[in-house]
Chains A and B, each alone.
Chain A
Amino acid sequence: MKPNFCVNIDKLRLKNPVIVASGTFGYAEEFKDIVDLKKLGGIVSKTITLNPRKGNPPPRTCETPAGMLNSIGLENPGVKVFLKEKLPVLKKIGVPIIVSIASESGPEEFVSLAKQLDKIACIAAIELNISCPNVSRLAGVPVSRCADKLISQDADSTYALVNAVRKVTKKTLITKLSPNITDITEIASAAQTAGSNAVSLINTIAAMSIDIEKKSFKIASGVAGLSGPAIKPIAVRMVWEVYQKIKIPIIGMGGIMNTADAIEFFLAGSSAIAIGTANFINPGINVEIIDGIKKYMIKNKIKGLKNLTGGLII
Chain B
Amino acid sequence: MIFQIKAKVFENIRVAQEYYKIILFCPAIAESAKPGQFVNIKVSDTIEPFLRRPFSIHQAGNQYPETKNRIEILYAAVGIGTQLLAQKKPGEFLDIIGPLGNGFNYMDSKQKATRQILVAGGMGVAPLLFFAKRYPLNGMILIGTKTKNQILCEKDFEKLGLDVKIATDDGSRGFKGRVTELLKNVLRTTQYARRTMIYACGPHPMLQEISRISKKYNIQAQISLEEHMCCGVGACLGCVIETKQGYKRVCKEGPIFNAQEIIWGKNTL
- Chain A positions within 8 Å of B, measured between CB atoms, are 23-26, 30-31, 33-34, 46, 54-55, 57-68, 70, 72, 75, 220, 228-229, 257, 277, 279-284
Q: Which of B83-91, B174-182, B207-215, B224-232 contacts A (4 or more CB under 8 A)?
A: B224-232
Whether A281 contacts B50 in the complex (CB less than 8 A), given A54-B246, A59-B227, comes out as yes
Give the distance to chain B from A53, nearest Cβ to Cβ, in Å. 10
Give the distance to chain B from A154, nearest Cβ to Cβ, in Å. 28
Q: Are B238 and A60 in contact (CB under 8 A)?
A: yes
Q: Which of B41-49, B105-113, B132-140 contacts A (4 or more CB under 8 A)?
A: B41-49
Give the distance to chain B from A293, nearest Cβ to Cβ, in Å. 20
Q: Are B237 and A60 in contact (CB under 8 A)?
A: yes
Q: Are A280 and B52 in contact (CB under 8 A)?
A: yes
A55→B242 CA distance, assembly (Å)? 11
Q: Are A228 and B50 in contact (CB under 8 A)?
A: yes
B window 147-194: CB within 8 A of A: none
Give the distance to chain B from A271, nearest Cβ to Cβ, in Å. 26
A294→B235 CA distance, assembly (Å)? 28
A55→B232 CA distance, assembly (Å)? 18
Binary contact readout B1-25 vs A (1 if CB under 8 angstroms, 0 otherwise): 1111000000000000000000000
Q: Are B235 and A26 in contact (CB under 8 A)?
A: yes
A26 and chain B: residue at smallest CB distance: B235
Within 8 Å CB of A30, what residues of B?
231, 233-235, 252
Give the distance to chain A from B257, nearest Cβ to Cβ, in Å. 14
Q: Are B236 and A33 in contact (CB under 8 A)?
A: no
Q: Is B206 interfacial (CB-CB < 8 Å)?
A: no
Q: Are A61 and B3 in contact (CB under 8 A)?
A: no
Whether A75 contacts B237 in the complex (CB less than 8 A), given A57-B242, A68-B230, A229-B47, comes out as yes
Q: Are A34 and B4 in contact (CB under 8 A)?
A: yes
Chain B interface residue number, banded: 35 or more
A218 and chain B: residue at smallest CB distance: B228
Q: Is B142 interfacial (CB-CB < 8 Å)?
A: no
Within 8 Å CB of A67, what residues of B?
50
Give the distance to chain B from A11, nearest Cβ to Cβ, in Å. 28
Binary contact readout B22-61 vs A (1 if CB under 8 angstroms, 0 otherwise): 0000000000000000000010000111111000000000
Q: Are A23 and B236 in contact (CB under 8 A)?
A: yes
B window 109-138: CB within 8 A of A: none
Within 8 Å CB of B233, what residues of A?
26, 30-31, 34, 283
The contact sample of 25 A-B pairs, CB cut-off 8 A, is: A26-B236, A30-B235, A31-B233, A31-B235, A54-B246, A54-B247, A55-B237, A55-B247, A60-B239, A63-B228, A66-B47, A66-B48, A68-B51, A68-B230, A70-B236, A72-B237, A75-B237, A228-B50, A277-B230, A279-B231, A279-B235, A281-B47, A281-B52, A283-B4, A283-B233
A78→B233 CA distance, assembly (Å)? 21
Within 8 Å CB of A61, what residues of B?
228-230, 236, 238-239
Q: Are B2 and A33 in contact (CB under 8 A)?
A: yes
Shortest 6 CB-CB contacts between residues of A and residues of B: A26-B235, A61-B238, A30-B235, A33-B2, A280-B230, A34-B4
Q: Is B197 interfacial (CB-CB < 8 Å)?
A: no
Count how many pairs of residues, one from A and one from B, have CB atoms less than 8 Å apart in the complex. Answer: 111
A60→B268 CA distance, assembly (Å)? 10
A278→B192 CA distance, assembly (Å)? 48
Q: Are A62 and B228 in contact (CB under 8 A)?
A: yes
Within 8 Å CB of B246, what residues of A?
54
A138→B231 CA distance, assembly (Å)? 29
Q: Is B241 interfacial (CB-CB < 8 Å)?
A: yes
Q: Are B52 and A75 in contact (CB under 8 A)?
A: no
A31→B42 CA distance, assembly (Å)? 17
Give the distance to chain A from B229, nearest Cβ to Cβ, in Å. 8
A65→B50 CA distance, assembly (Å)? 7
Whether A63 contacts B234 in the complex (CB less than 8 A), given A57-B267, A284-B4, comes out as no
A257→B48 CA distance, assembly (Å)? 13
Whether A220 contacts B267 in the complex (CB less than 8 A), given A34-B97, A70-B238, comes out as yes
Q: Pick from A55, A229, A280: contact of B51, CB below 8 A.
A: A280
Q: A23-B236, A30-B234 are in contact. List 19 more A-B contacts (CB 8 A).
A: A24-B236, A25-B235, A34-B2, A34-B233, A55-B247, A58-B227, A61-B238, A63-B49, A66-B47, A68-B230, A70-B236, A75-B237, A229-B47, A257-B47, A280-B51, A280-B232, A281-B42, A282-B95, A284-B4
Q: Are B50 and A34 in contact (CB under 8 A)?
A: no
A64→B228 CA distance, assembly (Å)? 13
A241→B181 CA distance, assembly (Å)? 63
Q: Are A58 and B241 in contact (CB under 8 A)?
A: yes
Give the distance to chain B from A223, nearest Cβ to Cβ, in Å. 16
Q: Pick from B1, B231, B252, B267: contact of A58, CB below 8 A.
A: B267
Q: Is B65 interfacial (CB-CB < 8 Å)?
A: no
Within 8 Å CB of B228, what residues of A?
59-63
B51 and chain A: residue at smallest CB distance: A63
Q: Are A281 and B4 in contact (CB under 8 A)?
A: no
Q: Are B236 and A72 in contact (CB under 8 A)?
A: yes
Q: Are A72 and B50 in contact (CB under 8 A)?
A: no
Q: Is B256 interfacial (CB-CB < 8 Å)?
A: no
Q: Is B240 interfacial (CB-CB < 8 Å)?
A: yes
Within 8 Å CB of B267, what residues of A?
57-59, 220
Give the distance to chain B from A151, nearest Cβ to Cβ, in Å. 22
Within 8 Å CB of A26, what residues of B?
231, 233-237
